[in-house]
Amino acid sequence: MLTIEEKREILGIARRTMESYVENGIITKYTTQNENLKQHAGAFVTLHSRGKLRGCIGLIESNQPLYQTIVEMAIESSSSDPRFEPVKPEELKDMEIEVSVLFPKKRVESLDEIELGKHGVIVKRGYASGVFLPQVASETGWSKEEFMRNLCEGKAGLPPDCYKDEGTEVYIFEAQVFNEKELK
């Protein structure tokens, strides 16, 4: 688990990276003395503008230090989320950053193992896959069936009931989720 100071450092890296990239096209180089931030971990950077989703990109697993993953995902979420146009400099003042640091995934044999709001879920079938972060269940209020159907169809592009098939792999993971608003 990350400390408040570590969370602030991660959010600061994400904020400075996004601003530098959006304003100048420059990828700022960072280093840290914090050993926790040098650990390899997956992470998502989520952007909200005026309460609405503005970008979200991440890696389930990473082969590089967490702080470097944050740099890459801050750039990707502000410039490469296919659902949105790249963030413009004039939007930066309204942007709120949320980070989800992911713990290793685990394959589940039964949907009973999934705790909505606690677990993020990945579905994978062949080359298609989709992921919902743990906070999606809380934000949408979906039942477990609605959650899984939306994950399969909306995120993975698979049939909505494919999670019931033996050929579909279902994984869960936990995440430590924090944002700029709560750490001000």
DSSP 61-102: S-SSBHHHHHHHHHHHHHHT-TTSPPPPGGGGGGEEEEEEEE
What CA–CA distance (Å, rounded) separates 64 from 4? 22
- Which CATH fold topology does 106-173 show? Dna Ligase; domain 1 (3.30.1490)
pLDDT at 168 > cutoff 90 = yes
pLDDT in tens, 105-143: 999 999 999 999 999 999 999 999 999 999 998 889 999
Helical H runs in the chain? 4-24, 66-79, 135-140, 144-150
What is the average pLDDT across 20-49? 94
Q: Tokens representing 114?
A: 């999934």
* Residue 8: exposure state from Cβ atoms within 10 A (0-12, 13-18, ≥19): middle
The rounded mean pLDDT for the chain is: 95
Give the number of other Cβ atoms within 10 Å of residue 80's Cβ: 12
Q: Are the CB atoms for 22 and 78 separated by under 8 Å?
A: yes
Please tell me the pTM assigned to this model: 0.89
pLDDT at 184 > cutoff 80 = no
Check residue 70 and give its pLDDT: 97
Domain boundaries, the chain: 4-102, 106-173
Q: Are the CB atoms for 116 and 172 separated by under 8 Å?
A: no
CATH of 4-102, one of 3.30.700.20, 3.30.420.40, 3.30.360.10, 3.20.20.70: 3.30.700.20
What is the average pLDDT across 13-38? 94
What CA–CA distance (Å, rounded) separates 35 from 41? 12
Q: For the chain, give me the number of helices (H) and strands (E)? A: 4, 8
SS3 sequence of 105-170: CEECCCHHHCCCCCCEEEEEECCEEEEECCHHHHHHCCCHHHHHHHHHHHHCCCCCCHHHCCCCEE
What is the average pLDDT across 159-173? 95
User: Is residue 183 helix, strand or coil?
Assistant: helix
